[in-house]
Amino acid sequence: MKTRKAFTLIELLLVIGIIAILASIVIVAINPTKQLGDARNAQRRSDVNTVLNAVYQYAIDNNGTLPGAIPAAPAAAKPVCLGTVVDAACTGVPGGVDLSDLIGTYIVAVPADPQNTSTDVTGYTIVQDANGRVTVAAPSAEQSATISVTR
């Protein structure tokens, strides 16, 4: 008689169960949702800095005059429009700030929030305080992050 060596059903189920437990631990440790949110927040931080740097470069070249109609304190922050060279009027966004003067010389295009679905606004806001400092913010930051840069 020949004896065949093989795995029993119990052994196979045990191995599959252990693999499933280890896979769930790895997925929880990696947490792809958090990783994607962190990546989008990093893009928002970069965009906010890009807009603020472009605004200040414009102001330096234009004797301190800021582009668009950036609201001054105590006004609330206004949305930044997706103005382009073709549509520089910020149409469809009452009270929006048109930064299309920056396009071409200071930035290639006004950046938009990574999860922005609007064709009119960027998802970022801008305001000038009483001391003349400009603040650009990303109000839709994820994971309770506050993304705001003031200069």
Tens-digit pLDDT profile for residues 10-58: 999 999 999 999 999 998 888 888 999 999 999 999 999 999 999 999 9
Average pLDDT, the chain: 88
Structural domain includes residue 2: no
pLDDT at site 72: 85
Residue 106 in any domain: the answer is yes
Distances in whole angstroms, Cα of residue 19 to Cα of each of 7, 12, 24, 31, 104: 16, 11, 9, 18, 54
The answer to whether position 122 is within a domain reads yes
For residue 62, being part of any structural domain is answered with yes
Mean predicted confidence (pLDDT) in 90-110: 83
Please report the pLDDT score of residue 83 as a whole number: 60
What's this model's pTM, rounded to 2 decimal places? 0.78
Domain assignment present for residue 1? The answer is no
70 assigned to some structural domain = yes
Tell me which residue range forms the domain holding 84: 10-150
Model confidence at 99, pLDDT cuts 50, 70, 90, reads: confident
Whether 4 is in a domain gets the answer: no
